[in-house]
Structure 1
Amino acid sequence: AEAEAEVFHYLGQDFVLWVVDATGLVERARKLHNTTSTATQALGRVLMGTLLIGESKETSDSVQITFKGNGPLGQIMAIAEKGFVKGRLDVRRVEGDLTEGGSHSVGKAVGRQGVVTVVRKSKALQQYTGEQQMGITELVNGEVAEDLTNYLAESEQINSAMGLGLVVSSDLSVRKAGGYLLQMLPGAAEETLDKLEENIKAMPPVSELMSDGKTQEDVASLISRDLGLVDLVFRKDHSYGPCNTADLRERMVNTLKLLSVTEVRDILREQNKVEMCCEFCAERIQFS
């Protein structure tokens, strides 16, 4: 599949930085899920946050992040594995898209109260920690980036900063989507920490930078200003998806098994088929 997101991974003296442009990936998700602006903003942020945390966990095979807030969007989930990321949300269209001061209030749509759950699966770590590790923290404000940095601090004791932003056009398409994840290395100098904090405070929001045509390199140099940048370690492409058809069929058959024989017969009598739709990729599979 063609790359729909590109992650740049940088290494500084006391920190590691990942910067992503995920415009194509988030636009693909928007089309599949047919979301309105605020739902696109929320799903896009969760997709990019999951992708960035997935990149930072080199030992994990997959990272699954679920936001369960008390807002109208319900539950939002994304899964990142092996260069792919996919997501789903309970409610795709939020009426009268929620605004605070003229901008999309993702926090209101996700909900200010609730939890974020992160599940990491790793074959490599299996012998030490079991196949999966799970962490749950409270939402800070439902705006996604702060919720995830709080998760990293509380659950994994990692000092980090994250910025995620999208620009959605009036025709609902995604004009720009991007973000960064900055993580301090153990024993980082206090001055480095202060300087990075100062740089991030002085920086416009990621969505604004990317709308102005700034690239991942530009974002990286703004964050690491006066700290002597950071070598680009590698670039990595990501795409939306994939739902393996065999897995998909199996997942759907298992769901069908939850229905009674009578229910299945009734559906077949009415429609001559049972059609199921994948909540991640909108792929439809028919059983007759």
Structure 2
Amino acid sequence: MTDYLIKALAYDGRVRAYAAITTDTINEAQKRHDTWSVSSAALGRTMTATLLMGAMQKEDQKITIKIEGNGPIGPIIADSNTQGHVRGYVTNPHVHFDELNGAGKLDVRRGVGTEGTLSVVKDLGFGQNFTGQIPIVSGEIGEDFTYYLAKSEQINSSVGVGVLVNPDDSIKAAGGFMIQLMPGADDALIDDLEKNLKNCPTVSRLIDEGKTPEEILAILAGGEDNLQILEKIPVSFECNCSKERFGAAIISLGKDEIKQMIEEDHGAEAECHFCRNHYHFDEAELEKLYEEAQ
């Protein structure tokens, strides 16, 4: 199934809902970063949640998430936009535990850590940014995003994200959902949603069984009749890095640094953290950048 995200309303517009399948997208990230099982699950959950939050933004706004816990994975970075493009990386891609957690799943909490912060930076355009930060509350990612939305944005939400990893570290299934209460949601509706969430299988299991984002939201909304699909967006791993961008970064280092690259290294090599693409600059290219730095 090709990755995509849907936006919807439920319960006569009193609930805003998003759901996405991200299996191919997270598989691309896994291959680019050579992540092992626990790192794959943590990165995949973070990228999926970032994608869902990116879909909430307006027009060309972008969002960047940083989860910095005290576990062995280290900081996790992901960013997304409103077009369904997402990218991300982990500081330590090679984290795997032989032991599963108490629920029989990959121990993402142990990999991420239970102390630290989740930071959100929204690029609002025109050089304006909004920044919010909360302490990590569980390290399971979905619960941390749920807490962020409640505390920093005052939106009562439920975020569910999941990744199933094959024995060869490839991604078997990945995706997630986000449910948000709108004005007019009463206690009866909230009770109904809580019951549906409690009885719903994990999102990764649903995707592994072949369920679509529409079917996942129908389960959470108590049936298709309660659901109104608004938009369907293709999802993919996309990086906006380029040789030109890295050239501009080299210019910003200043002429002394560039001269040292020319005289000592006779060139320069740059690598993008997000996609692992490499860019080579030979002496002639560095000479040109040196002149621009002047």
User: Would the TM-score normalized by the shorter structure come out above 0.5?
Assistant: yes
Q: 1:104 is matched with which residue?
A: 106
2:7 is equivalent to residue 5 of structure 1:
no
Identity value in percent: 30
Q: Stretches of 4+ moved more than 6 A in 1?
A: none
TM-score by length of 1: 0.89
Q: 2:219 is matched with which residue?
A: 222
Query: Residues 124-273 of structure 1 correspond to what in structure 2 (within 5 A)?
Result: 131-225=128-222, 228-246=225-243, 248-250=245-247, 252-253=249-250, 257=254, 260=257, 264=261, 268=265, 272-273=266-267
Q: 1:75 is matched with which residue?
A: 75
- Once the 2 structures are TM-superposed, how far is the Cα of residue 35 of structure 1 from its aligned partner? 0.4
CA distance in 2, matches of 1:267, 1:31: 34
Structure number with greater Rg is 2
CA distance in 2, matches of 1:286, 1:208: 43
2:278 is equivalent to residue 277 of structure 1:
no
Question: What secondary structure does 1:103 align onto?
Answer: coil
Question: What secondary structure does 2:235 align onto?
Answer: strand
Alignment: residue pair count:
278
Residue 187 to residue 253, structure 1, CA distance change in 2 (3 Å): same
Residue 235 to residue 275, structure 1, CA distance change in 2 (3 Å): same
Q: 2:40 is matched with which residue?
A: 40
- Once the 2 structures are TM-superposed, how far is the Cα of residue 103 of structure 1 from its aligned partner? 2.0
CA distance in 1, matches of 2:100, 2:260: 42
Residue 194 to residue 211, structure 1, CA distance change in 2 (3 Å): same
Question: What secondary structure does 2:92 align onto?
Answer: coil
- Once the 2 structures are TM-superposed, how far is the Cα of residue 121 of structure 1 from its aligned partner? 1.3
Q: 2:61 is matched with which residue?
A: 61
Letter in 2 for 1:168: V
Residue 283 to residue 197, structure 1, CA distance change in 2 (3 Å): same
Residue 82 to residue 216, structure 1, CA distance change in 2 (3 Å): closer
CA distance in 1, matches of 2:141, 2:255: 33
Extract unaligned runs of 5+ from structure 1.
none
Q: Deviations over 1:217-254 (max 9, x none)?
A: 22111100069421111100122122241553246416
What is the root-mean-square deviation of aligned Cα atoms in Å? 2.3
Q: 1:93 is matched with which residue?
A: 94
CA distance in 2, matches of 1:191, 1:227: 19
